[in-house]
Chain A
Amino acid sequence: MDGPEDAVRDERALVELARSDPSAFAELYRRYLPRVHAFAYRRTNDPEAAQDITSAAFERALRNLGAYRWQPGGFGPWLFRIVANELADHYRRAGRAASDRAAGAAHRLVAQAPRDPADEIGDRDAVDELLAAMSRLSPRYQQALELRYLAGLTPDEAAAAMGTSKATMAVVVHRATRALRRAMDERNGS
């Protein structure tokens, strides 16, 4: 049962190699692309923004790979932290609560994006509402919720990505969830 350990060793070796070998980084890229893209998509609900964020995150990871030090959680949490930072930058540049943007993007026609499997009106509205309310939280709360729920990470990985302990992460997530609930209630006028 040393499969997972082998996988960790393999990834560590790959990361080391990727510092100097573009092909090795390309391998890392291919491994993480679906998850990174899914994370960005779930957060933005916008295919174009998801692609932009995915591109920026991988490029930043590549440029900073030399400074990366292997962590027990592996390469993933570090990479997802970068993605979360890119998301924060994205919303900071947008300069507004993403509610209108998310709602518009949900119904925008895109040249090549395949149809979103969850594209029923009811689901889409609920997602839009959630994302809009999330965008109104503090950056730290947003990141905590993104990493914990939208990035597809385990609680341990999410904590590692956040740079905190698991216990601290749980507290932050709890507070963020409450804040999110309040934000949604305010939005609904209750």
Chain B
Amino acid sequence: MSDETRRRLEAAGERPVPPPDPGFADDLEARLRAVAASLPATGGPATAPAPSATRSGRRRRLVPGFVLAGALAIALMLAGGIGLGRPARVTTPELTGPVNVTVAMPDGAVLEDPDGMLLPDGAVITVGDDGSARIGDTTLLPGDIAVVQQGKLQIQHDGGLGVVPGTATPTAHPTPDRPHGASPPPTTAATRTPAAPTPTPVAPTPRPTPTPTPGTPDRTPAPTPTPVPQPTDTPPPTATPAPTPTPIPVIRPHLRARLLVMGPRVAVTWTETYRAKSYVLIVTVARSGTAPNPVYPGSRVLGTFARPPDLPMRFRVPDGVTELKLQVIALRWNGTVLRRSNVVTIEVPAVVE
């Protein structure tokens, strides 16, 4: 009687299963190393999880067709060879308040106005006409091209040399769980709003004169020290008990995406999520039939974000793609998965010329 059950159990335990995906294994190892490195030092939040670290080429076989404008931009800039300003130190550079800005990723993807994005090494940020953006204390103006290299920002200002301040502004993520300590959820929601994401760059960054003098920032940028300061200390337990946004914290990120005819492009945004410290936007595509369901880790990462974009960010659909599936993964401060959003499927109609 139970012999049959035992046999089935043994069979279940002996059945062959697929090995762990090498990309997943590498990513997890990198994450564990990061956690291990942070543990002795009070195990603090340190930088945002670095899912983009040590991407040893595992993305290659996914989605080959994204636009390579970023690589071209880099080539042009290096070929021009002039006017690279002194690099600024920016910890976990975060793009804030982009207007008419494209970010070309190292893998070739080009994102438009990806507000809140954590910029990986090799990302090229290009500001178009009448555009602007902020990265830490640095404001980018129309015509600026910035490249992230080893966590530092190199900027080429249109028409002149770039002088970049040396202030480091850790994009302070609201402190991690401190569970139920002083502050309920508001850290992520309430405290961010004051951050002046409004891109109006008018005040800061006087156009640099061609003095190559390093250091001594000519432009005392950033009127507001944007990043969220000490969130845990601030929240007044007494005042306004219920955080203004919604009394009920959003547990699961809700992803919204739609196809824009021009391009074609996809516009994406999602809701902020309780206790999430960063977000990873992943995508799968198909050039015929159905796109596979996104998997994390595993699927292609379009970008990592410190927060959902205030306005929908956009990216161009590669040629030939007939269907995409998108998902947002909310991560804890240590990089582990907190919540997964709904999967949004976008069908791309064929273009008839």
List residues of A whose CB falls within 8 A of some B CB: 20, 22-23, 25-26, 29-30, 33-34, 37-38, 41-42, 47-48, 51-52, 54-56, 58-59, 62-63, 108-118, 123, 126-127, 130-131, 145, 148-152, 174, 177-178, 180-181, 184
Separation of A30 and B2 alpha carbons in the complex (Å): 37
List residues of B (14-29) whose CB comes within 8 Å of A's CBs. 15-21, 23-25, 28-29
- Whether B18 and A117, one on each chain, are in contact in the complex, defined by CB atoms closer than 8 angstroms, is yes
Q: Does B337 contact A (CB under 8 A)?
A: yes
- Whether B20 and A118, one on each chain, are in contact in the complex, defined by CB atoms closer than 8 angstroms, is no
Q: In which size bucket is the chain B interface?
A: 35 or more
CB distance from B140 to the nearest CB of A (A): 35
CB distance from A179 to the nearest CB of B (A): 10
Q: Quick one: closest A residue to B5, CB to CB?
A: A181
Separation of A181 and B84 alpha carbons in the complex (Å): 72
- Whether B8 and A126, one on each chain, are in contact in the complex, defined by CB atoms closer than 8 angstroms, is yes
Q: Does B249 contact A (CB under 8 A)?
A: no
9 pairs, A vs B, C-beta closer than 8 Å:
A48-B295, A109-B290, A113-B18, A113-B298, A114-B21, A116-B16, A117-B18, A145-B9, A177-B9
Question: Which of A56, A111, A150 has the most chain B CB atoms closer than 10 A to its own CB?
Answer: A111
Number of contacts between A and B (CB, 8 Å)? 138
Separation of A52 and B1 alpha carbons in the complex (Å): 35
When A149-B13, A180-B5 are in contact, do A51 and B18 touch as well, CB less than 8 Å?
no
- Whether B35 and A62, one on each chain, are in contact in the complex, defined by CB atoms closer than 8 angstroms, is yes
- Whether A110 and B292, one on each chain, are in contact in the complex, defined by CB atoms closer than 8 angstroms, is yes
Q: Which residues of A contact B298 (CB under 8 A)?
A: 51, 110-113
Separation of A6 and B337 alpha carbons in the complex (Å): 38
Q: Which residues of A contact B2 (CB under 8 A)?
A: 174, 177-178, 181
- Whether A22 and B12, one on each chain, are in contact in the complex, defined by CB atoms closer than 8 angstroms, is no
CB distance from B43 to the nearest CB of A (A): 8
Q: Which residues of B contact A126 (CB under 8 A)?
A: 8, 11
Question: Which of B21, B31, B43, B337 has the most chain A CB atoms closer than 10 A to its own CB?
Answer: B21
User: What 9 A-B pairs come out closest when comparing CB atoms?
Assistant: A22-B36, A149-B13, A37-B20, A149-B9, A117-B16, A111-B292, A181-B5, A114-B18, A41-B17
Q: Quick one: closest B residue to A58, CB to CB?
A: B32
CB distance from B239 to the nearest CB of A (A): 34
CB distance from B16 to the nearest CB of A (A): 4
